[in-house]
Amino acid sequence: MHSVPRLVIAGAGSGVGKTTLVALLALAFRARGLRVQCFKCGPDYLDPTWHKRASGREPQNLDSWMMGREAVLQTFVDATQDADLALIEGVMGLFDGAEPTRDTGSTAEISRILQAPVICALDAKGVARTLLPLYLGLRNFDPELNVCGLLANRVGSRGHLDLLKKACGSELLGGLPKDEALTIPERHLGLHAALSDVFDQERIQTWTALAQEWLDLDRLWELASGAPPLAVEPTPAQTGTESRCRIAVAYDEAFHFYYSHNLQLLQKAGAELVYFSPLQDKVLPPNIQAVMIGGGYPELHAEALAAQEDMRTSLRNFAAQGGTIYAECGGLMYLSRSIRTLDGHEYPMLDLLPARTIMQDRLQALGYTEVEQETDTMLGPAGLRFRAHQFRYSLLQEEEDIPKVWRLRGKRSSAVVQEGYARGRILASYAHGHWASNPAIAQNLVASLTQKNGDREKR
């Protein structure tokens, strides 16, 4: 049995302040000396950057459609082995998920899997007593859920909070004032990532003080501590795992969309991960067998990426020498010949795939997809399957035919799309795969790199 105090911070929809509340709670409980582990329901990459800065620990995604129930439970238990408190941020509204008539992939499903108390975050702007029936609707919709408290956001004043307390009684556990200091900037893929210039020490101190002043931390801790034990044992820690290969992982302002679970699977399989910045570094790390380039915002940094000719040459040389490159979404864009931004400017990229990336002013793809591999690749044999997610505003305009080794079938559509761009030892896609749906992928990739490295040494 595994026991850890925990809370799910859910909402009636997006934009009600869930990320802000989780970050404030993490900061406030850390200030009390607790080790706080954060999680994000769903496929989001950006909200977890705020969790990481606030908690000081690596957050994890929990997505029941991509991962499956058992992987959700195991991921949660493994990540909280040494934690004093777990905070789980919901996705969209409490009951919104992969299907309109079921709660698959929703915050509600994750809450049931984790047997976690649910706190509802609601926007209080312009309401007083009406907040209570909004909350009661969420609390009573599913009797199996332990919805046990309410936090109000965008409260107008102390007087407004007093009105809300009189209306909602003991259900209200505090509220956050409408304050510019609590605003998180947004852009087309969601919130800005919480890099050091956005979530600096001044903001951290301000948010900690606001949480201590406005939220009932004692009552929230009491509710979190009432969560029952989970009948799952932590995965035994690996000791003395020998490094079998080195993988360079692109990580900076342009590329930082990775599922922590995938990277940890690679490490468990024997990969040593070394990080580099396509924006700042001039050459790749030494003695590597593969490069991973995740998603992010290459379009916002296209001019700077184009100016880093030394790094682009280093990556081209690595590919020309037979190096393995795996890229997702933003990484795929970087591998193309160029990126054309919305203002009409075109910036040269790696030119490792004969295509151009064209930014669009409208969303081009959004949603879950299942991937089936049609030929053998470094990820495994033909027939391999895994689940993934897409969210993009760009199109890839092929200038020569590029072999495609994947079939993508959308969760909400029966249409099949040929994707998975392959060229030599390059494999790239717009799909962000979650390898909990097929953990063998990490083992296959490391094995292919180990075998390739061994063949080179024999020669």
Catalytic positions, written as ranges: 329
Residue 41: how many CA atoms within 13 Å on its side-chain side? Answer: 36
d(CA 220, CA 172): 11
d(CA 442, CA 448): 10
Handedness of CA 287, 291, 292, 297 (dihedral sign): positive
State the DSSP code for 437. G
Distant-in-sequence, close-in-space partners of 451: CB < 8 Å, separation ≥ 6 = none
d(CA 120, CA 225): 17
d(CA 22, CA 129): 25
Place of tokens 């969560």: 227
Where residue 113 falls (left for φ over 0; alpha for ψ -120 to 50; beta otherwise) is alpha
d(CA 324, CA 427): 8
Specify whether the CB–CB gap between 164 and 124 falls below 8 A.
Answer: yes
d(CA 247, CA 291): 6
What are 29's two structure tokens? 């409980």
d(CA 80, CA 84): 8
Specify whether the CB–CB gap between 28 and 208 falls below 8 A.
Answer: yes
What are 157's two structure tokens? 């004043």
